[in-house]
Amino acid sequence: MRVKRLLKAGVISALACMVKADSAILTDQTKELLARVFLALCDNPKDRGTIVAQGGGKALVPLALEGTDVGKVKAAHALAKIAAVSNPDMAFPGERVYEVVRPLVSLLDTQRDGLQNYEALLGLTNLSGRSEKLRQKIFKERALPDIENYMFENHDQLRQAATECMCNMVLHKEVQERFLADGNDRLKLLVLLCGEDDEKVQNAAAGALAMLTAAQQKLCLKMTQVTTQWLEILQRLCLHDQLCIQHRGLVIAYNLLAADAELAKTLVESELLEILTVVGKQEPDEKKAAVIQTARECLVKCMDYGFIKPAS
């Protein structure tokens, strides 16, 4: 209630003016106090739109970059809370959005608490979905090793947030190269996450795998070599009762079929062909349109190879 009253009274505008004040007045201790106030005001997601509208996003950036270590962490956490739920173009207009990346990446440090890690991942997911330039900035700030580590995390929410962030980051060429490199378990982990019971993790992992196999043909073959469970996991995706997950599974199947004739033969000789046939023969339905269309494209690819004959 007190926060709402303060926001209504225009506290953000007052704080923003203080941030812009003469640097002689604005000591590091004052900056830390301002950061603490901002973080308290950002606690409720419903208030963050008001904070952005009053210029809070812009005011937080310098607080996250300069001052005491505690103050910078508090300001970075407030930035993460805003970045997680706001349109970055509105919250951090112009070039300022690129300055937000480093404070968010700093919160991925394992010495930070779980909530800071989680909200930083949510913020980076939102930013990485905006543009290639932002993905490049996130990559250059060396966020990838931390994002990958959280994908191994036992904590469900952290693992989900990291996998969703990776789903956006795989669009960047240098991230794809990390998956192509030998001597690591990145691709294996992603395939195994597609077999998880947690549907949000499964959806994000399948999305990342669909984009990787579409962008890099070599990963289609590599995917079949990293774990013996790959085919079973792929079949489960293609039969999933969540349409978005099922569609991503079918896109992966199409990418594998299109990549290599021998690999396509392996798929056709498995139960996958029956799955594709059943899905592709469904009556057209607006909700299932993308799923049915992708299954049919898979079957057409099988016909192109001569593995199956067109229905007479």
Fold of 2-225: Leucine-rich Repeat Variant (1.25.10)
Q: What is the pTM of this model?
A: 0.94
Query: In whole angstroms, what is the distance from residue 225 CA to residue 222 CA?
Result: 5
Query: In whole angstroms, what is the distance from residue 225 CA to residue 127 CA?
Result: 33
- DSSP string for residues in 255-288: HHHHH-HHHHHHHHTSTHHHHHHHHHTSPP-TTT
Tokens 């993308």 belong to residue: 290
Which amino acid is it at 254? Y
Taking each helix axis from N to C end, the angle separating 11-19 and 28-41, rounded to the nearest 10 degrees, works out to: 150
Q: Which of 170, 81, 179, 173 is nearest to 128 (CA)?
A: 170
Query: In whole angstroms, what is the distance from residue 258 CA to residue 261 CA?
Result: 8
CB 128, CB 134: distance < 8 Å: yes
The domain limits of the chain are 2-225, 244-312
Q: Cβ atoms within 10 A of the Cβ of 69, count?
A: 9
Query: In whole angstroms, what is the distance from residue 245 CA to residue 239 CA?
Result: 9
pLDDT tens over the chain, length 312 residues: 788 888 887 788 889 888 887 667 789 999 999 999 999 999 999 999 999 999 999 999 999 999 999 999 999 999 999 999 999 999 999 899 999 999 999 999 999 999 999 999 999 999 999 999 999 999 999 999 999 999 999 899 999 999 999 999 999 999 999 999 999 999 999 999 999 999 999 999 999 999 999 999 999 999 999 999 999 999 999 999 999 999 999 999 999 999 999 999 999 999 999 999 999 999 888 999 999 999 999 999 999 999 988 765
